[in-house]
Structure 1
Amino acid sequence: METRIKIDKVEPTGYQAVLGMEKFIESTNLSRTHKDLIKIRASQINGCAFCIDMHTKEARKAGETEQRIYALNAWRDTPFFSEDERAILALTEEVTLISKHVSDDTYTAAAKVLDEKYLADVILAIITINIWNRIGITTQLIPA
């Protein structure tokens, strides 16, 4: 497999716009754990090997446990995730699989445990990793 196109080289202005979203997400008050869970779970759903590799390494470096990383695709069936993490993971799944829409139950559960600003930042973080996943998959970015 070979990377198809290097968007950052061919269209640097567009790439910088996406990078600007990432920089914004990094500047928010979202916890490192929440950012990592969003990035890994969306990347698992989308099947972006490059992003899964990158974000699991980052999560481990930040202190995330192997147990939680390995169980992330089955988070509903484990006791390893808190109420706010479960709400964020459910929202991540429904935003990533947007053709099925975001249910009122999922949104309400997230709004119950997250304040409005935090919820807005979670939604933007989910959208941002989905942009990166689509770039990685379409251009066939190869994990390091």
Structure 2
Amino acid sequence: MEARLNLQEKGKNALKALFGMGGYLHKSSIELPLRELVVFRVSQINQCAYCLDMHYKDARAKGETEQRLYGLSAWREAPYYTDRERAAFAWAEAVTKCEVPDAIYAKVKQQFSDEELIDLTMVVTNINTWNRLNISFPGEVGSYQVGQFG
């Protein structure tokens, strides 16, 4: 079987747009701790091992607790997430599954301004793209070092 492409080597030009989006999101209206939780949750849904490895390391380095990371797949039952976080997780799951019912929209609008909702949606769509790329062209899972990509 032929080895898969190395995305970091062969896809440099294509990845420039995603890195640009990352730069925008870094300065976006969505607070960093929430962004980290959302990208971790979406990576769980998409079963992207590389992204899970990366984002749990980044979240822990930025102060997120192990308890909240471990409990994220059961956020509806876990008592240690805020209403804002819960709304973001519901939105992230709905957008990832391409099924956004009015009830979830109404709930997220109670917690997020228009600008924040657009930025949150960009966080979700950006990590969905990264997940699909890293599943298609997998890197070495476990090799990520905090701060490796900026």
What band does the TM-score fall into relative to the shorter chain? Answer: over 0.9
Residues 48 and 134 of structure 2 are in contact (CA less than 8 Å); yes or no, is this contact kept in structure 1?
yes
Residues 28 and 119 of structure 2 are in contact (CA less than 8 Å); yes or no, is this contact kept in structure 1?
yes
Q: Which amino acid aligns with 1:81?
A: Y
Paired position in structure 2 for 1:59: 59
Paired position in structure 2 for 1:118: 116
Q: CA deviation at 1:33?
A: 1.1
Query: How far, CA to CA, are the matches of 1:59 and 1:27 in structure 2?
Result: 17
Residues 30 and 116 of structure 2 are in contact (CA less than 8 Å); yes or no, is this contact kept in structure 1?
yes
Residues 49 and 142 of structure 1 are in contact (CA less than 8 Å); yes or no, is this contact kept in structure 2?
no
Paired position in structure 2 for 1:79: 79
Paired position in structure 1 for 2:105: 107
1:130 corresponds to which of 128, 131, 139: 128
Query: How far, CA to CA, are the matches of 2:124 and 2:33 in structure 1?
Result: 14
Paired position in structure 2 for 1:47: 47
Q: Which amino acid aligns with 1:114?
A: F
Q: What is the root-mean-square deviation in Å for CA atoms of aligned residues?
A: 1.4
SS across alignment from 1:77: coil
Query: How far, CA to CA, are the matches of 2:101 and 2:127 in structure 1?
Result: 20
> Is 1:94 aligned with 2:91?
no
Paired position in structure 1 for 2:147: none
Identity among equivalent positions (%) equals: 35
Paired position in structure 2 for 1:17: 17
Between stretches 50-59 and 9-18, larger displacement belongs to 9-18
Query: How far, CA to CA, are the matches of 2:3 and 2:131 in structure 1?
Result: 14
TM-score for the superposition, normalised by structure 2: 0.89
SS across alignment from 2:75: helix
String of CA shifts for 1:7-36, please: whole Å, max 9, x gaps. 332232211111111111111121111110
Q: CA deviation at 1:3?
A: 6.9
Q: Which ranges of structure 2 fall in alignment gaps of 5 or more residues? A: 144-150
2:140 corresponds to which of 126, 139, 142: 142
Q: CA deviation at 1:142?
A: 2.1
Q: Which amino acid aligns with 1:136?
A: N
Query: How far, CA to CA, are the matches of 1:130 and 1:84 in structure 2?
Result: 21
String of CA shifts for 1:67-91, please: whole Å, max 9, x gaps. 0000000000111110000000001
**Which structure has the highest helix share of the two?**
1
